[in-house]
Amino acid sequence: MARKRISMRKIKEVLRLRFEVGLTYEEIAQSCNIGHTTVGEYLSRAKEAGLVWPLPEDMDNSTLERLLYSRSPAPDVKRPVPDWEYVHKELKRKGVTLFLLWQEYKETYPDGYEYSWFCRNYREWSGKIDVAMRFNHRAGEKLFVDYAGHTIPVIDKRTGEIRDTQIFVATLGASNYTYAEATWTQSLPDWIGSHTRTFKFLGGVPEIIIPDNIKAGVNKSCRYEPDINPTYQDMASHYRCAVIPTRIRSPKDKAKVETGVKTVEQWILARLRNITFFNLTDLNKTVRNLLEDLNSRPFQKMSGTRKTMFEELDRSALKPLPVGPYTYAEWKKAKPHIDYHVEAKGFYYSVPYQLAKKEMEVRITQNIIEIFYKGKRVASHHRSYDPSKRYITVREHMPKSHQKYLDWTPQRIISWASKAGTATAQTVEIVMKNRSHPQQGFRSCMGIMSLGKEYSQERLEAACSRALAIGSPSFKSIQAILKKGLDRLPPQKEVQQTSFINHSNIRGPEYYQTTEGGNNHVDSPDHR
């Protein structure tokens, strides 16, 4: 059975993490929620396709997919599998390494597996024996982040309201150098903001961020395949690092950050228990002062401090900060409707009409709305905050049949319709009010006015009057009235009186009486 293809976005992330961040297959697999064999497969496909990182800016997802799947990889030839039990025993000898054992294996089997496969499969085999995993944190490699369990209250002087603040904690794996700050919430904007301020405090960026499976950073908690929030992933891409959440029910994965949180609670939060704060700024100034004291405290079982260890190990190993800080952006999936507009924060932004009903990704910042289709940006708009302008439309996104209505306004159309009569003007006004998008209403009004040319303006006025009387001011209703000649019937024959049967199961005409405004039917926006 063929393996299901992963998304092009995830493949790009695999390439970035390998060639830009320099992660191992296992680390990439954890970050992208895929198997390490899948990582190897797509890196091999990329090599065969002659792809280099970074990918060309004009390469969209369709082109990338075509290059990766233009030919199937050659079938794997059966090769001798190493004796993993022997390898495991030999590794316990002093000075013996996996590289040495692989060299000996290749001397015996020149056509055997390569070193990366050898290491990967040994770790899989040994993992079944050694359940407890040991983490050796390299300098500048990992930053563990989480929130403390304790909160600090802040009192509003004006209202007396007491609000609990959340304490964000970040700890470097190698030096234990720690950062902490207070935020109002654990929401996504605060979560991202705390990360950007942490990087500024450190003066650099680690290779990997390891958060606990909190809702802000992880959309779906899973022991093996947690889904990273798109905004969180977008931030990681900006800072050229990876996010690898801790596995649920795996305390050893987050032992470092739990130790950091405990230390912050003991040496900072406990000291603040009897202090009253009236604003967040003063609270964070106090936290920063105590944080300096914490990082300068000598270790109990070894020489040095967190700060001296940071200067010796982590500082030079951290990646440099990007030119500018990350611009907070939210991501959402959306499908433009038949009117080729996607919704973002209560406003509607156009895309090329050919992409209607296609699934897209929308990137929302404070000032810009960007819309992507298969990884390629197809539209960009200045974000609107004006309630009177809920639809933002680019002329080039519209079909030619829509573009000709851009110069029209509701007032102009009503004025034009009033030449036929008051009922016609009232009808087109109702039609436009019942549309979610102006262009749809304009087209329907044009259709109504075209009936005046076909049947005469006098008959159109009579038909509109009848349509208003029966509560159906729409193109189709007016067209039907004109076709059947109902506009020529005298008003008294409009409703034919008939006798009704009195029965408990018959509701009678009173049941169907419409409310104020009538039952306004809407004709199809596809009418031309």
Are both 344 and 226 inside the same structural domain? no
What CA–CA distance (Å, rounded) separates 360 from 370? 10
CA angle 121, 123, 129 (to 5 degrees): 115
Split into its structural domains, the chain has a count of 5
pLDDT tens string 283-302: 999 999 999 999 998 877 56
CA distance 391 to 171: 46
3-state secondary structure 315-328: HHHCECCCCCCCCC
Q: Which of 154, 143, 178 shows the shortest CA–CA distance to 266?
A: 178
186 in Cβ contact with 147 (< 8 Å): yes
Confidence of residue 1 (pLDDT cuts 50, 70, 90): very low
Q: Is residue 135 part of a domain?
A: no
The CA distances from residue 54 to 17, 51, 59, 183, in Å, are 11, 9, 11, 36
Whether residue 243 is contained in a domain is answered as yes
- Domain for residue 385, yes or no? yes
- How far apart CA 413 and CA 427 sit, in angstroms, is 11
- Convert the pLDDT of each residue in 70-124 to its tens digit: 654 444 557 888 887 677 656 655 566 777 888 888 888 888 887 778 888 887 7
- For the chain, percent of residues with pLDDT exceeding 70: 77
Asked if 395 and 353 count as a contact pair (C-beta separation under 8 A), the reply is: no
**How far apart are alpha carbons 325 and 155 in whole angstroms?**
31
Averaged pLDDT, 339-365? 86
- Shared domain for 193 and 216, answered yes or no, is yes
**89: containing domain:** 84-127
Q: Spell out the alpha helix ranges (H) of 297-367.
A: 306-309, 315-317
Give the span between the Cα atoms of 234 and 9, in whole angstroms.
11
Same domain? 352 vs 428: no
Strand partners, 371: 362, 379
Are 192 and 281 in the same domain? yes
Binned at pLDDT 50, 70 and 90, residue 318 comes out as very high
Element of type H or E holding 31? helix 25-32
Which of 363, 398, 433 is where one domain is finished? 398
